[in-house]
C-alpha cells in the first residue's frame, strides 16, 4: 500500500465519528469513570475521549507501521514486567507447570506423571503450592509440556549465577516471553502475506488482546498453542506461494511439532493443516509437472520432509508415552488411571463438576468463553469492566458481519479462497467443540484460553471484513492511500482498550 497522504482538514471527520460513538456508548453502558455523570458530563467526557483518539488517529494514519512496532514493543516490555511481578496464585495452572520444570531442573529427567512429589507437592519442590486448593490425583506430566521443558533449561542456565527461587521462577517464565516475541514476529510476517490492506489491524487484533498479554506473563501452554498456530498458518501460506520449497516444508514441520508438544486443544489446526497440505501439494505438483510419476515423486518428497521434521522433533515424546504408559500414546487414559490409584490409596481426589452438575446453559458457556478469550484474569475471577467487553463485542461483531461480503471478490481473484475459508472455519469449530466436550463430560470450565488457537482465524475474519469496507469506500470516493480509512479509526480504539485493560485490571495483579 502507498503511504498515506496527511490531510489535517479531514480530522473533524474522525473526531465527529468518535464523539458520536462515545456519546451513544456512554448512555448504553456504565463505565467507572462516568458513574453518576449527567448527560452533559458524559458528552464532555465523550468529546475529551474523541479528541485523544483523533490525535492517535492522526499519528496512526501518518506513521502506521512505526505506530504498530512501538505498540508491539510496549506489549513486550509490559509482558517482561508482568513476568517479574505476577503472583503464582493468580496464574491458572502455573503452579503445576513450574512444578514440572522444577522436577526436570533438580533431577535432570522427565517425570512419568506417577511421581507422588508431583501429585501431592513437597514444599521444597513447590514453594508456591496452595494447600487449600483441590487435589486432582494427577499432574501435568501425562500430557504435552514443552514450555515446562524449556522452562527447566532456562532455570538451569540462570542457576549458574543464582539459585534464588524468585530468579528461577522468572527464568521459567521467560519461555513465554520468548514465545510472545515469536508470536509477534510471525503475526507481522503472516499479516503481510494474507492482507495487503488491513495487515496492521490483523496484528493489533492478534497481539492487542488483553488475554494474550496476560498469558505471556507466566508459564503456560496456552501461549505456545497460539504461537504455533500462527506459525503453522504462515508456513502453509508460504508453502502454497513457493510451491513447497524445502525450507518452507521444514518450517511447517517445526511449527506442527511445537503444537503437538504444547497443547491438545491445538490439534484441530494440525488436522486442518494436514488436509490442506495434501490438497495444495497435489495442486503444486500438477502445476509444475505433466508426468504423473514426477508429480507423485514431488508429493512424496515434500511430505517426507514435513513428516521427518515432525517425527524428529516430536516423535520421541509419543514413543516414550507408548512405552511407559503401555500403548497410551496421548497419556490421557493413564492420567485418569493415576487419579484412580491415588484415590484407591486413601487420598481425597477432587471430582470436578460437569455441565449438568452446574445446571449451566449454553448461553452462559459461550458468554464466559468469549469474554475470557478477550480477557478474564486470575482463576477466572478477575473480570474487566463490562464496558470494555461491550466495546470489544461491537468491534468484533461488526467485523464478522462484514466478512462474508469480502468473500465473493476474494473467490474471483483466487480460486483457493473458498477452501481456505472452509478450513479456517473448522480451525475455529474444532477447538470450540473440544472445549464444549470437556465441559460436558469431565470438567465445566468455559475458558477462552482453551480455544486460543482459533484466534488467528478470528483476527483474519475481522480484519478482512473491515478491509473490505475500506475497499468499498476507496472505490466510491477515496484513493487507496486515503487519510480516511476504517483501519485508521479502529486501531487507535484497540490501543486505548488495551491500555485501559492493562491499567485497571492487569497491573493490579502484579503484586508478587
- In the structure grid, which three cell numbers stand for residue 428, read together? 475455529
Q: Are 195 and 467 in contact (CB under 8 A)?
A: yes
Centroid of chain to Cα 244: 26
How far is the C-alpha of 389 from the C-alpha of 369, rounded, in Å? 12
Q: Is residue 2 part of a domain?
A: no
* Residues near 97 by beta carbon (within 8 Å), at least 6 away in sequence: 140, 145, 147, 148, 151, 172, 219, 220, 221
| pLDDT confidence of residue 3 | 46
CA atoms of 144 and 261, how far apart (whole Å): 5
Of 149, 148, 142, 145, nearest to 331 (Cα)?
142
Write down the pLDDT at residue 130: 55
Task: Read off the DSSP letter of residue 89.
Answer: G
Residue 171 lies in a domain: yes
Rounded to whole angstroms, how far apart are CA atoms 141 and 338?
A: 11
Report if residue 338 sits inside a domain. yes
Give the C-alpha separation, 491 to 207, whole Å: 12
> What are phi and psi for residue 446, nearest 5 degrees?
-75, 100
214 touches 382 (CB < 8 A): no
Q: Is 307 within a domain?
A: yes
Range of the domain at 346: 8-509
The per-residue pLDDT for 254 is: 97
Instruction: Work out the burial of residue 343: count CB atoms within 10 Å of its CB; fewer than 13 is exposed, 13-18 middle, 19 or more buried.
Output: middle
Considering the domain boundaries, does residue 421 fall inside one? yes
Cα 191 from Cα 198, distance rounded (Å): 8
Residue 3: inside a domain, yes or no?
no
Cα 407 to Cα 78, 275, 394, 426, 454: the distances in Å are: 37, 21, 21, 17, 19
**Length reported for the chain:** 512
Distance CA 79, CA 73 (A): 10
Blockwise average pLDDT, block size 10, the chain, 512 residues: 58 78 63 62 74 83 89 96 90 90 93 87 61 73 95 96 92 96 96 81 94 96 95 92 94 97 91 91 92 93 96 96 94 92 85 87 93 92 88 90 83 67 81 91 90 92 87 61 74 90 88 56
Backbone angles phi, psi at 224, to 5 degrees: -65, -30
Q: Say how many Å lie between the first and final Cα of the chain, rounded.
A: 45
Name the grid cell of 209. 488482546
Those residues whose C-beta lies under 8 Å from the C-beta of residue 249, and which sit 6 or more positions away, are 239, 302, 305, 306, 309
| Residue 470 to residue 493: CA distance in whole angstroms | 17
Q: Which burial class, exposed, middle or buried, applies to 471 when counting CB atoms under 10 A from its CB (0-12, 13-18, 19+)?
A: middle
d(CA 144, CA 4): 46
pTM for the model stands at 0.91
The pLDDT assigned to 469 comes to: 85
**Residue 60 lies inside a defined structural domain of this protein:** yes
Q: Per the structure, how many domains does the chain have?
A: 1
Instruction: At 13, list the grid cell.
Output: 471527520
- What are residue 46's phi and psi, to 5 degrees? -65, -40
Structural domain contains residue 1: no
**Residue-level pLDDT at 293:** 92
pLDDT at 356: 87
Whole-Å CA distances, 65 to 136, 201, 459, 483: 48, 11, 18, 14
Q: Is 4 helix (H, G, I), strand (E, B) or coil?
A: coil
Amino acid at each position: 500500500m502507498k503511504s498515506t497522504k496527511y490531510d489535517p482538514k479531514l480530522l473533524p471527520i474522525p473526531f465527529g465519528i468518535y464523539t458520536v460513538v462515545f456519546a451513544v456508548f456512554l448512555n448504553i453502558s456504565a463505565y467507572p469513570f462516568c458513574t453518576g455523570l449527567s448527560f452533559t458530563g458524559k458528552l464532555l467526557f465523550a468529546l475529551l475521549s474523541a479528541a485523544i483518539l483523533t490525535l492517535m488517529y492522526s499519528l496512526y494514519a501518518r506513521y502506521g507501521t512505526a505506530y504498530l512496532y512501538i505498540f508491539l514493543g510496549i506489549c513486550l516490555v509490559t509482558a517482561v514486567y508482568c513476568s517479574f511481578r505476577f503472583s503464582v496464585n493468580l496464574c491458572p495452572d502455573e503452579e503445576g507447570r513450574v512444578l514440572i520444570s522444577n522436577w526436570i531442573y533438580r533431577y535432570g529427567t522427565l517425570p512419568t506423571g506417577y511421581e507422588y512429589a508431583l501429585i501431592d507437592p513437597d514444599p521444597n519442590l513447590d514453594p508456591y503450592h496452595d494447600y487449600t486448593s483441590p487435589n486432582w490425583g494427577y499432574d501435568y506430566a501425562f500430557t504435552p509440556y514443552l514450555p515446562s521443558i524449556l522452562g527447566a533449561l532456562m532455570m538451569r542456565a540462570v542457576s549458574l549465577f543464582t539459585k534464588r527461587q524468585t530468579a528461577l521462577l522468572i527464568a521459567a517464565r521467560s519461555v513465554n516471553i520468548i514465545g510472545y516475541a515469536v508470536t509477534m514476529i510471525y503475526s507481522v510476517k503472516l499479516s503481510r502475506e494474507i492482507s495487503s490492506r488491513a495487515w496492521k489491524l490483523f496484528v493489533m487484533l492478534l497481539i492487542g488482546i488483553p488475554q494474550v498479554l496476560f498469558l505471556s506473563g507466566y508459564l503456560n501452554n496456552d501461549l505456545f498453542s497460539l504461537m504455533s498456530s500462527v506459525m503453522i498458518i504462515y508456513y502453509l501460506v508460504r508453502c502454497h506461494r513457493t510451491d513447497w520449497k524445502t525450507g518452507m516444508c521444514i518450517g511447517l514441520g517445526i511449527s506442527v511439532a511445537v503444537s503437538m508438544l504444547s497443547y491438545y486443544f491445538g490439534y484441530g489446526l494440525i488436522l486442518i493443516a494436514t488436509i490442506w497440505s495434501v490438497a495444495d501439494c497435489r495442486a503444486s505438483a500438477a502445476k509444475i509437472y505433466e508426468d504423473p510419476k514426477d508429480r507423485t515423486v514431488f508429493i512424496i518428497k515434500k511430505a517426507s520432509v514435513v513428516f521427518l521434521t515432525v517425527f524428529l522433533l516430536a516423535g520421541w515424546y509419543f514413543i516414550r508415552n507408548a512405552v511407559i504408559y503401555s500403548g497410551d500414546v496421548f497419556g490421557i487414559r493413564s492420567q485418569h488411571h493415576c487419579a484412580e490409584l491415588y484415590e484407591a490409596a486413601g487420598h481425597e481426589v477432587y471430582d470436578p463438576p460437569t455441565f449438568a452438575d452446574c445446571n449451566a446453559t449454553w448461553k452462559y458457556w459461550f458468554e464466559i468463553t468469549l469474554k475470557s478469550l478477550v480477557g478474564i484474569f486470575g482463576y477466572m475471577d478477575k473480570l474487566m469492566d463490562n464496558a470494555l467487553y461491550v466495546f470489544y463485542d461491537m468491534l468484533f461483531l461488526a467485523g464478522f458481519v462484514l466478512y462474508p461480503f469480502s468473500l465473493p471478490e476474494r473467490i474471483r481473484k483466487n480460486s483457493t479462497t473458498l477452501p481456505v475459508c472452509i478450513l479456517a472455519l473448522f480451525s475455529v469449530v474444532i477447538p470450540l467443540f473440544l472445549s464444549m466436550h470437556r465441559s460436558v463430560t469431565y470438567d465445566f470450565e468455559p475458558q477462552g484460553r482453551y480455544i486460543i488457537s482459533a484466534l488467528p482465524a478470528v483476527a483474519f475474519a475481522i480484519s478482512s471484513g473491515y478491509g473490505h469496507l475500506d475497499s468499498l469506500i476507496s472505490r466510491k470516493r477515496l484513493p487507496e492511500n486515503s487519510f480516511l480509512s476504517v483501519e485508521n479509526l479502529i486501531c487507535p480504539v484497540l490501543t486505548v482498550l488495551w491500555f485501559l485493560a492493562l491499567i485497571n485490571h492487569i497491573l493490579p495483579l502484579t503484586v508478587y
